[in-house]
Chain A
Amino acid sequence: MGREIKNLKKRNAAERRFKIFGVASTAFALAFLAILFVAIFSKASGAFWRTEIALEINQNEDYRQAIKDGLRQRFPEAKTIAEINSLYQLVSKASNLEAKEQSGKQQIWISASSKSDMFFKHQNSSALNENQLLWLSDLKEKNEIRKVVNWKFFEFADSREPEIAGVGAGLVGSFLVMLIFLIFAFPIAVMCAFYLEEFAPKNRLTDIIEISINNLAAIPSIIYGLLGLTVYLQFMHLPRSSSLVGGMTLFMLVLPVIIIATRNTIRSIPSSIRDAGAALGASQMQVMLHHLLPLSMPGIMTGTILAVSRALGETAPLLMIGMVAFIADIPQGFTDPTTVLPVQIYLWSDSPEIGFMEKTSAAILLLLTFLILFNLVAIILRKKFEKKW
């Protein structure tokens, strides 16, 4: 008897260990998600704020000169060329545009340079010299700086100057690319899925189609980039790094995913629906259009949304078709050079200036917000319309 009890204790201990290991591994995955979000988002908030400096200027046609004069009037102690240069570095190089917008006023507010911005936001003075520190502290004391919401981050395209670089071009680009691949992929994928499930004869060819579609869903995305490079750019000579080419490349990536999701939904519809339709004299096509399609629509939408959210996060295939260019203008059409949000993140993450670090994090925050929203909609759709047949 004693041996059995001892044995049972051992077995129960093994059971507990096993369970703890299981819980721990789930906890680890979740903890990692938490760390990822905290590590990135804690740096993101800075990008949504911008520091502005007040300056008295004399109206002048040449705004750049007017700002320089204004700065030297404000800080007459800057005498040597080096001192004057470091004085000019306090404000953004693009501040002349802001001065132009506020023309007619005596006192204008212009963006601080990234260096001064970092100083006010994070007390990071590593990039500043002693004089600059002194001047900035003086501005702060006299309340000649202010913090404003950085709408430019959403409106502007990329820039060499971190303080005015924004995700505008990336947002527009991502939207254009999505438009292209959805227009092509959605109808084709749905039609293809219905053909394979409802009409296709069971033969060799159908098997090959099935295998190739399943395989397309699993090959590395960078391969599609190479295909885009050779077929669209080299062979068809479509414009490099345009949203048209980007969309056509992601189309191939999205297509098999939507096909597979649609097929799974169609398969889950019981055959009694088809039989009832046929018994009432409806043709196969009528059963499909009047019953199967509406019944499978929620499932198709869920699959499509998930496919879209995956494609919107893709970077590698787009790098292959030349979307690494520096895009300083918001794209106006499908053939303009474009960047997309994830590519913008990649480009900024490579920049050495610390000003770009918060931009990268903020862009990631933006991208993840979109993707999580997409996922949420998909989950809600699935929950709401899920049918247990």
Chain B
Amino acid sequence: MNLRLRRKIESAGVLVLSITAGIGILITIAVTVSILFEAMRFFDLVNPLDFLFGTSWNPQMAMTAEQEVGSSSFGSVPVFLGTLLITLVAMTVAVPLGIMGAINLSFYSKAKTRDYLKPILEVLAGVPTVVYGYFAVIFVAPFFKYFFASFGIEVASESALAAGFVMGIMIIPFVLSLTDDALNSVPQVLKDGALALGSTKSEMIKKVVLPAATPSIVGALILAISRAVGETMIVVMAAGLIAKLTFNPLDSVTTATAQIVTLLVGDQEFNSPKTLAAFALALTLFVVTFIFNIVALAVIKNYKKKYG
């Protein structure tokens, strides 16, 4: 083929490729703009300070925008407190189990067991969240209710504990596989050195491997938190819908994602602050997870550079 023609065709090909690369940015911009735009419309109707620091969340159904604002309140503090509570419960379950599981897989289990366990844990990671939600409703929540009732403690049937616990289980494989990567990327020399100096395996792990891998594990945990904060179906199904200003895990709380779903599902009037409030929540959610992700990815990248 004519060499010059070939060059031309190829540079056209590269141009096409570069356009596809732009789609990533395009989607990011579309996400930001569309949510920001609707959230701005919400903040035209409701004072942003009331939204951020108000302690009462009670969006009402209304026909027109004017009629709305007086009767309902959009203080997001209880909603985000609920999100925080459920995330905390989830991390309490996922962090120790995930990290210890990874240590077990990396240092203690036989190569063969490892080969079987990893795909099984991948299955656990691949179970859709709607399944976890259903499981929380039919099994975990009644179990907690029954369990605590035997001590005379009353638990709400849509408790933060049940939703958070199941969410924690959902996150375990995620924490586990990221921690596993982190542990494996600690140079073998460091591990061998510790063992050669006479430390037991657990001392080597606790005093050499974990400190060396800490930045990467922290990065993994931030990603896990970001995932817990954005998790939707489990909380829609297993957590409550009424926003309460409480930090008791046995009580029923609501989360930002659950509120977005309840506000936006069904036919809705697009100009009412009730539906626009969902976008304000989503904007906050987006900003928070965005910051978490950027920080986590930067931490992990830095760490990889160090040990390459």
Residues of A within 8 A of B (CB): 11-12, 14-15, 18-19, 21-26, 28-30, 32-33, 35-36, 39-40, 188, 191-192, 194-196, 199-200, 208-209, 211-216, 218-224, 226-227, 229-231, 234, 252, 255-256, 259, 283-285, 306, 309-310, 312-316, 319-320, 324, 342, 345-346, 349, 357, 360, 364, 367-368, 371-372, 375, 379
Contact = CB atoms under 8 A, between A and B. Distances in A.
8 contacts: A30-B117, A33-B123, A36-B132, A195-B21, A212-B27, A230-B37, A255-B23, A283-B6
A259 B24 CA distance: 10
A214 B266 contact: no
Contact of A368 (B24, B119, B131): B131
B24 A212 contact: yes
Interface stretch (B10-18, B43-51, B69-77, B244-252): B10-18
A257 to B, nearest CB: 12
Interface in B250-295: 257, 260-261, 264-266, 270, 278-279, 282, 285-286, 289-290, 293-294
B226 interface: yes
B42 to A, nearest CB: 13
A199 B23 CA distance: 16
Contacts of B101: 22, 25-26, 29
Interface in B105-139: 105, 107-109, 117, 119-124, 126-135, 137-139
A216 B266 contact: no
Contacts of A364: 131, 134
Interface in B12-41: 13-14, 16-18, 20-25, 27-28, 30-31, 34-35, 37-38
A314 B229 CA distance: 16
B103 interface: yes
A221 B129 CA distance: 11
Given A315-B128, A349-B237, A285 B27 contact: no
A252 B137 CA distance: 30
B78 interface: no
A22 B257 CA distance: 33
Contact of B20 (A192, A223, A229, A306): A192
B187 interface: no
Give the top 4 A-B pairs by smallest Cβ distance, nearest first: A220-B230, A313-B128, A22-B104, A316-B232
Contacts of A224: 31
Chain A binding surface SS class: helix
Chain B binding surface SS class: helix
Nearest to A235: B34
Nearest to B100: A25
Given A283-B6, A346-B130, A364-B134, 9 more contacts: A22-B101, A192-B24, A213-B24, A220-B257, A223-B230, A316-B233, A320-B265, A346-B233, A349-B134
Contacts, number: 250
Which of B205, B232, B286 has most A Cβ within 10 Å? B232
Interface residues of B, number: 90
A324 B294 contact: no
Nearest to B121: A29
Nearest to B131: A364
A255 B200 contact: no
B158 interface: no
Contact of B230 (A15, A36, A219): A219
B261 A319 contact: yes
Contact of A215 (B176, B231, B294): B294
A222 B279 contact: no
B97 A25 contact: yes
B21 A209 contact: yes
B255 to A, nearest CB: 11
A375 B122 contact: yes
B128 A219 contact: no
A47 to B, nearest CB: 14
Given A40-B134, A220-B289, A255 B18 contact: no
B231 A229 contact: no
B16 A315 contact: no
A306 B124 CA distance: 13
Given A22-B100, A226-B35, A285-B13, A33 B124 contact: yes
Nearest to A349: B134
B104 A26 contact: yes
